[in-house]
Amino acid sequence: MALADRTPHTGSAGTDGTSPEAARKASLGEYVRAYVALSKPRVIELLLITTIPVMFVAAGGVPPLWTAVATLLFGTMSAASANAINCYIDRDMDRKMLRTRKRPGAMQLVTPRGALVYGLALSIGSTAGFALWVNLLAAALSAFAILFYIFVYTMLLKRRTAQNVVWGGIAGCMPVLIGWAAVTGSLAWAPFVLFLVVFFWTPPHTWALAMRYREDYAAASVPMLPVVATDRRVLLECVLYSWATVAVSLVFWPVAGTTVFYGAVASVLGALLLVQAHRMYNRSRAGVTGAKLRTMGFFHLTNAYLALLFVAVTVDPLIAGVLA
């Protein structure tokens, strides 16, 4: 696998952020860290948060150990492959953004060929692993998620439309379906409801962060909604998508036949999310701008909301088993 021989230099440098004087062979540890960074582990963590709980619901309790381990392993490989290829495609854009210019591809810690080969190898390995050790439906859903993220989101939508994260977010919803398919070998309404929870949750979550890094996206010519629309318009859409998220999360209660525990947790979390979304919007209507809108606070809240909601999804079938 191709590896770069240079490390970043903080002094005078060329357009790639390196200088001939700083050139040296990187250590094995640096290579490993660079390829791990290509995989975007923090993004993978979020995907696993939605994969594990749905397996508990599908199994009506604790899922089979091997199925759970294999799904998490190959699911991690699948997400890492899509992220690595995304870094390969977006390396020019990443160099222009303060938030992403330290990614391995942007800093040339990994060669473009190395990143592409790494991503392709992981995609083949994850799909084959799902097919051989889980089931064909999970393999097909995983392959679809990879292809959708690369060709539809990264190559088609991201640089062309402010709706990029709305429809591109479908790839991030797929782990819910994959987790269910891994346990049951089929699909049902319950995982599709959770799919919609993640689908509606993604835009306000992403736009809140994008408002903080609006100048970055503008510099890279990425038409994120906060770049092309007013704060008030963005925050109104955050409110609407938050309402949709909460509504669908409550639909899961009767569809999946969960206990009152899930319903109570979803209601409380939903109320908190909506209160904060409306507060941001009301600040924008009052003429507040910039950091005083507290969009990063809302961003962190959306992370906590999704994590805690899916914890409730995990715990609920265990409670149901005790009460049965």
User: Taking all residues of the chain, what is their mean pLDDT, rounded to a whole number?
Assistant: 90
The last residue of one of the domains, among 186, 213, 231, is 186
Same domain, 119 and 215: no
Helices (H) and strands (E) in the chain, counts: 14, 0
* Residue 179 within a domain: yes
Using CB atoms within 10 A of its CB, is residue 29 exposed (0-12), middle (13-18) or buried (19+)? Answer: exposed
Decide if 305 is inside a domain.
yes
Asked if 230 and 208 sit in the same domain, the reply is: yes
Domain-located, residue 19? no
Nearest CA among 148, 72, 85, 93 for reference residue 118: 85
> pLDDT tens digits for 10-49?
333 444 444 343 344 667 777 788 888 888 888 888 888 8
Same domain assignment for residues 230 and 267: yes
152 and 266 together in one domain: no
Q: Please tell me the pTM assigned to this model.
A: 0.90
Given 3-state DSSP classes, what are the helix, strand and coil percentages for the chain, each rounded to the nearest 5?
Answer: 75, 0, 25
Residue 13 located in a structural domain: no
Give yes or no: residues 52 and 201 share one domain.
no
Of the candidates 132, 157, 186, which is a domain's last residue? Answer: 186
The CATH number for 81's domain is: 1.10.357.140
Q: What is the domain range of residue 182?
A: 26-186
Residue 17 lies in a domain: no
Give ∠ CA 138-144-146 in degrees, rounded to 5.
105
Residue in the structure block whose two tokens are 């990425």: 222
What would the pLDDT profile of 192-207 be if each residue is shown by its tens digit? 999 999 999 999 999 9
Structure tokens that stand for 302 in this block: 């959306």
* 21 within domain boundaries: no
Q: What is the pLDDT of residue 102?
A: 79
> Do 144 and 205 share a domain, yes or no?
no
Give the DSSP H/E element, type plus range, for residue 49.
helix 41-59
pLDDT at 25: 61
Provide the CATH number for the domain around residue 209. Answer: 1.20.120.1780
The model's pLDDT over 164-173, given as tens digits with 9 standing for 90+, comes to 999 999 999 9
Which residue type occupies 18?
T
What's the number of domains the chain is made of?
2
Query: Are 124 and 264 in a shared domain?
Result: no
193 & 176 share domain: no
Give domain status of residue 6, yes or no: no
pLDDT at position 290, please?
84
Same domain, 232 and 305: yes
The pLDDT score that the predictor gives to residue 230 is 95
Residue 9 has pLDDT above 70, yes or no: no
Residue with tokens 């021989």, as numbered in its chain: 5
First to last CA, the chain: 54
Same domain, 201 and 181: no
Does 100 map to a domain?
A: yes
Together in a domain, 35 and 166: yes
The candidate with the shortest Cα–Cα distance to 242, out of 220, 265, 269, is 269
Residue that terminates a domain, selected from 126, 151, 186: 186
pLDDT in tens, 259-310: 999 999 999 999 999 999 999 999 999 998 888 899 999 999 999 999 999 9
Shared domain for 157 and 192, answered yes or no, is no
- Split at pLDDT 50, 70, 90, the class of 98 is confident
